[in-house]
Structure 1
Amino acid sequence: MTKILILYYSSYGHVETMAYAAAEGVRNAGAAASVKRVPELVPEAVAREAGYRLSQPAEVATVAELADYDGIIIGTPTRFGNMASQMKNFLDQAGGLWARDALVGRIGSVFTSSGSQHGGQEATILSAHVVLLHLGMVVVGLPYSFKGQMRMDEITGGSPYGASTLADDGEGGDRQPTANELEGARFQGSHVARLARALAAARSAEAA
């Protein structure tokens, strides 16, 4: 069975929620989904003081296991138009996988969150794509066949680069992912799973 890893970092739970929606989409497409997170770098006392969600049930991933999957969907919040340092630190340890071409030809995809509509969502996803390309992965976004990203009747995340959500209600309060944003994550998960299955079949046929 095609195996997809949803690898995420989430300080307050917004990206975590999107990660489980993406996993649902993967499973809807008939693939196996594993949801795992990268290690926290912020000292626990500081994280608690800041209100971080520290009780996330997802297992912490290892860099070595990335090569076990046919596709990897990365979820990271926006940090000044780039991925969170926790995610970058994790991916920076993938030099051994890069050296032996372990991820070449696998599907890579990204989703994100930000505190505002124009908080760097697209820049974050595109900068993460650079890392995936260096690893030899086949980059997949959120195609316009997901019509939810064309909506004009509500404030919503989502772009052709990947699903996204807004974490602030505009008044400094918490905003959770909307139904449309979660559907975008599910769509992206299904899309990645189908393409990963096709590429895995092609690799198997070539090996035979």
Structure 2
Amino acid sequence: MKVLVVFYSMYGHVLRMADAAAAGAREVSGTTAELRRVPETLPEEVLRKMGALEAQKGMAHIPVATVDELPTADAIIFATPTRFGNMCGQMRQFLDATGRLWAEGALIGKVGSVMSSSATQHGGQESTILTFHPTLLHQGMVVVGLPYSFAGQSRIDEITGGSPYGASTISGGKGERMPSENELAAARYQGRHVAQIAARLAR
């Protein structure tokens, strides 16, 4: 079983969620989980002005995702920050390059799942995941979310991301908040759940 966690992270918030999802997937016997970052589209000077250059350099050891690698996975978890209630442009550009896979039906029957991050509690965590799903459905993927068997998404004692659509985190307006333990637990649960569903489909 091979799970790919394909992500874009500007400041490291989404990377932490992606790491947790991969760790959860590896809890399923016989499963390997690998991180892949989508190609950056912003010039280095822009990243420097945004204060993101150091974080980007810290992710340089993670291989860059390629379209050709996607069909080698049994399941793919996508993780993206929110941009006006939608996925970020870097992720959109990467997915827009998968037309050949669509034409070949290369992703049909594979499990697809999505996680997100937004600056504020109501900044589009859910809409980002929901607007991501049509791309997976067009590719013929089996969409898997975060079931309510993960009790942490029903918590009301703290501000937290997470919905039945997928795990999510809140970064704060200045990126000052990293994923909470509950949000990381949601990502781990989702990773494990995705791997379990993919294993059942494989059998």
SS of 1:195 mapped into structure 2: helix
- Count, aligned residues: 198
Please show how residues 141-160 of structure 1 align to structure 2 within 5 Å.
Answer: 141-160=145-164
Please show how residues 19-168 of structure 1 align to structure 2 within 5 Å.
Answer: 19-30=18-29, 31-52=31-52, 53-55=55-57, 56=59, 57-168=61-172
Q: What TM-score comes out, normalization by structure 1 length?
A: 0.93
SS of 1:78 mapped into structure 2: strand
Counterparts of 2:28 and 2:123 in 1: how far apart (Å)? 31
Identity over aligned pairs, percent:
59
Counterparts of 1:200 and 1:133 in 2: how far apart (Å)? 19
Q: Any unmatched runs of 5+ in structure 2?
A: none
Structure 1 residue 173 displacement after superposition: 5.6
Deviations 1:79-137 (A, max 9, x none): 00000000010000000000010000000000000000000111100011010000000
Question: In structure 2, what residue type is equivalent to 1:120?
Answer: G
Counterparts of 1:106 and 1:155 in 2: how far apart (Å)? 33
Question: In structure 2, what residue type is equivalent to 1:179?
Answer: E
SS of 2:56 mapped into structure 1: coil
Counterparts of 2:75 and 2:23 in 1: how far apart (Å)? 15
Q: What TM-score comes out, normalization by structure 2 length?
A: 0.96
Deviations 1:27-77 (A, max 9, x none): 012211010100000101110121112120311010011000000000000
2:12 matched residue in structure 1: 13
SS of 2:24 mapped into structure 1: helix
Cα contact 2:119–2:175 (8 A) shared by 1: no
Counterparts of 1:135 and 1:74 in 2: how far apart (Å)? 14
Counterparts of 1:132 and 1:34 in 2: how far apart (Å)? 19
Change (3 A) 1:196 1:173: closer
SS of 1:111 mapped into structure 2: strand
Structure 1 residue 197 displacement after superposition: 0.8
Q: Any unmatched runs of 5+ in structure 1?
A: 202-208
Deviations 1:133-177 (A, max 9, x none): 000000000000000000000000000000000000x6x460000
